[in-house]
Homo-oligomer: A and B are copies of this chain.
Amino acid sequence: MPFVHRLRVRFHECDPQGVVFYAQYFAYFDVALTEMWREAFGSYGEVVAAGTDVVVVEAAATFRASARFDDDLDVELRIDRLGTTSMAMATAIRRDGDVLVEGRIVHVFIDTATMAKQAIPDHMRASLQTYA
């Protein structure tokens, strides 16, 4: 079942066209990942303290409609594929159920000591599979 985080669009996240600036949606995906990590693992900080971090290696989005200041948005992350060292998520942003943005983001797991790729730890893999 996908992870969903609700957030509200801030004034300064919108541009002179009156809509959320397109790069900001990618920041929303990152905010939702932090909240997914909290639900799954306690917090992002705890995972990093245990030696595992993630970095974005691919990101894509299709923009179907615009979000505006003060809109409540549901940012959805669904695990699409768990590789040995990487995790691909399908992303979506909805307002009142309508899809505004659909995307994809791929993270690679790294060892915080060496900054090298590492296999997804087993206990993390098990938790993440619940968001498939």
The answer to whether B16 and A11 have CB atoms under 8 Å apart is yes
Q: A residues within 8 Å of B by Cβ?
A: 10-12, 14-18, 21-24, 26-27, 30-31, 34, 43-45, 53, 55-63, 69-70
Known contacts A10-B31, A58-B62: A15-B17 contact under CB 8 Å? no
Complex formed: what's the CA distance from A50 to B63 in Å? Answer: 25
B26, B44, B70: the one within 8 Å of A26 (CB): B26
The answer to whether B15 and A11 have CB atoms under 8 Å apart is yes
**A99–chain B nearest beta-carbon distance, Å:** 14
B27, B43, B55, B60: the one within 8 Å of A17 (CB): B55
**A111–chain B nearest beta-carbon distance, Å:** 14
B16, B31, B45, B61: the one within 8 Å of A15 (CB): B16
B18, B21, B44, B59: the one within 8 Å of A22 (CB): B59
Contacts of A63 in B (CB 8 A): 55-59
20 residue pairs of the A-B complex, CB under 8 angstroms, read A10-B27, A11-B16, A11-B21, A11-B44, A12-B15, A12-B27, A14-B16, A15-B16, A16-B69, A17-B53, A21-B30, A22-B56, A23-B24, A23-B26, A26-B26, A44-B69, A45-B69, A45-B70, A55-B63, A58-B62
